Amino acid sequence: MQDFRGNPNEDFRQAYAATALEHDADEMEVELASPWQRIGARIVDVLPFVCILVLASILLPLLAASGVGKGGVIALAVIAIGAFFGLLIYNLVIMMRDGQSIGKKLVGIRVITEDGDNPGFVKYVLVREFAYNMIFTIIGLFSENLGNLLTLVATIVCIIMLFMESRNRQTLQDLLAKTLVIKN
């Protein structure tokens, strides 16, 4: 397998040019997703979930206080929970099938393995998303402050890593799952 680390002796202009990677399997060339595409995709991924939670947290107390009745509050709660999990399941399916979340689809990027293959359920969903986030959740169970601090530090480190072309813009999740994020 080819080593994807860039040449540290590249001149200044080449360091900021579009990065192309060659894969051993079929000599396919791919272009790395820009940091801004990845950040935009993450925002698009998180925004619908945040909207559902915010709307539910505003509307549920308002409905309860307005005297609509227990049935109306329960119906809204069921709709909010259904929307949340429906969106989550759809996102998981397309991540597994296409190597893309909803946000990645909208901005035109996707995740591949370092060999150029679709990472599928295990590498994309279980390792890249679930295992990475579980590490911080488990630490947070023992010490909430330490878990929050490590999550913040990891987020800052990942943002910095997005801009490191010499490391193929691989974040901690990418290194854990051995994946790359490329333009479609």
- The residue type of 93 is V
pLDDT digits (tens, 9 = 90+) for 114-135: 999 999 999 999 999 999 989 8
pLDDT tens-digit profile of 5-31? 554 444 433 433 444 444 444 456 889
Checking 172-175 for CB contacts under 8 A at 24+ apart, the result is 172/132, 173/128, 173/129, 173/132, 174/128
Answer yes or no: are the C-beta atoms of 161 and 170 closer than 8 Å: yes
Q: For residues 158 and 166, what is the distance between their CA atoms, to the nearest angstrom? A: 14
Q: What is residue 46's predicted lDDT score, i.e. its pLDDT? A: 95
Q: What pLDDT score does 27 carry?
A: 55
Residue 28 is predicted with a pLDDT of: 63
- Measure the CA–CA gap between 107 and 44, rounded to whole angstroms: 9
* Pairing between β-strand 179-183 and β-strand 20-22 as defined by DSSP bridges: unpaired
115, amino acid identity: D
pLDDT tens per residue, range 136-161: 889 888 888 898 899 999 999 999 99
From 121, 123, 101, select the one nearest 113 (Cα to Cα).
123
Residue 112 and residue 98 in contact, taking contact as beta carbons nearer than 8 Å: no
Contact 147, 80 (CB under 8 A): no
Which two structure tokens, joined as six digits, stand for 178?
């051995």
